[in-house]
């Protein structure tokens, strides 16, 4: 079909989307470098649980698949559809696949963070349940969006359909809300682990800065997708931030895992077991008060305690203080 009157030029229609899509490839390279670092540090002697290793493996497969699909997306619109308005306005088969892979990526990453929040909030089932419900509803809307991309033939009919507008804006709105809530809860519960000890509080501040940067960047991009989709209905501007967001999720996830090594190496005298961030809680509830007071006295008199070299997430070592519930699986 020929483009309607007033339709933007090919450069205006695709330009922003293509630029951001190209910009995702360096992020994929950074992600692969992080995977290598993770495999080098946490798959050998300091072995993570099968859950985390499976997550990293699946995330690597998804990221690679998403990058390959992105390459086809660029090829289709810059080479195959070049100077052909009918193909230029058509929806390539790579578009719904990218949307589907983004959905799975969000499920993996958010599930990881929700589990962290569940542990850090003293197993608050209501909070975790609410976050899970938001994730499920958002994933359902995202799947419907991918189906719409597969069903509609052109971007014009896709943009003009009121059901598409409702489903896509709801999906993106829930994603932005979930990103903001997860990042806020992580920061809140990490902030509550302050102890007044200089070195352990330094780790608290480092973690907070990390989650502010990684969490709220995805919120900004999610909001940008909504704004561009609503305000620029005749352009593919919304697709660029959507593709970029997927790479940001993957890098944030691997960064949070590899951060353990950085914190342990940069704070060798801080009483933190970076694998679990578990406080020294005794197994018997009866002697909990006395044991905890003893450990506090030791920490105060020595101003530092031993750092466990165990970097697993299995929760078997519970020696750290004060970030007691950040990473256990």
Mean pLDDT of the chain: 78
Write phi, then psi, for 266 (nearest 5 degrees). -85, -15
Q: Compute the distance between CA of residue 225 and CA of residue 110 in angstroms, rounded to an integer.
A: 19
The model's pTM: 0.77
Q: What is the pLDDT of residue 322?
A: 41
Surface-to-core class of residue 30, CB atoms within 10 Å of its CB (0-12 exposed, 13-18 middle, 19+ buried) = middle
pLDDT in tens, 281-297: 344 444 444 444 444 44
Q: Which residues pair with residue 103 across a beta bridge? A: none
Q: Which of 2-6, 10-14, 141-145 has the highest mean pLDDT?
A: 141-145
**Mean pLDDT value across residues 302-324:** 38
- Domains of the chain in sequence order: 14-266 (1.20.1070)
pLDDT in tens, 34-93: 999 998 887 766 677 888 888 999 999 999 999 999 999 999 988 888 777 778 888 999
The answer to whether 264 touches 311, Cβ cutoff 8 Å, is yes
Surface-to-core class of residue 283, CB atoms within 10 Å of its CB (0-12 exposed, 13-18 middle, 19+ buried) = exposed
**Mean pLDDT value across residues 4-31:** 84
């Amino acid at each position: 079909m020929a483009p309607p009157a007033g339709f933007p030029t090919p450069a205006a229609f695709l330009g922003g989307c293509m630029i951001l899509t190209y910009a995702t490839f360096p992020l994929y390279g950074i992600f692969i470098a992080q995977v290598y670092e993770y495999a080098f540090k946490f798959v050998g002697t300091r072995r993570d649980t099968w859950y985390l290793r499976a997550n990293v493996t699946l995330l690597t497969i998804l990221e690679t698949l998403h990058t390959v699909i992105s390459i086809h997306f660029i090829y289709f619109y810059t080479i195959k559809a070049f100077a052909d308005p009918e193909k230029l306005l058509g929806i390539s088969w790579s578009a719904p696949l990218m949307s589907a892979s983004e959905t799975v990526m969000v499920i993996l990453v958010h599930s990881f963070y929700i589990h962290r929040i569940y542990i850090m909030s003293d197993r608050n089932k209501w909070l975790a349940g609410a976050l899970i419900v938001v994730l499920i509803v958002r994933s359902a809307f995202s799947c419907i969006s991918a189906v719409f991309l597969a069903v509609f033939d052109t971007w014009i009919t896709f943009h003009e359909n009121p059901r598409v507008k409702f489903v896509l804006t709801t999906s993106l709105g829930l994603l932005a809300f979930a990103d903001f809530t997860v990042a806020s809860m992580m920061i809140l519960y990490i902030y509550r682990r302050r102890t007044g000890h200089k070195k352990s509080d330094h780790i608290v501040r480092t973690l907070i800065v990390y989650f502010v940067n990684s969490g709220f960047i995805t919120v900004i991009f999610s909001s940008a997708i909504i704004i561009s989709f609503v305000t620029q209905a005749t352009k593919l501007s919304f697709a660029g931030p959507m593709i970029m967001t997927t790479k940001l999720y993957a890098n944030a996830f691997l960064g949070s895992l590899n951060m353990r090594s950085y914190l342990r190496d940069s704070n060798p005298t801080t009483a933190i077991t970076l694998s679990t961030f578990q406080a020294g809680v005794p197994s018997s509830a009866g002697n909990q008060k006395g044991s905890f007071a003893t450990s506090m006295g030791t920490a105060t008199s020595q101003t530092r305690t031993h750092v466990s070299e165990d970097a697993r997430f299995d929760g078997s070592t519970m020696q750290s203080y004060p970030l007691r519930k950040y990473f256990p699986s």
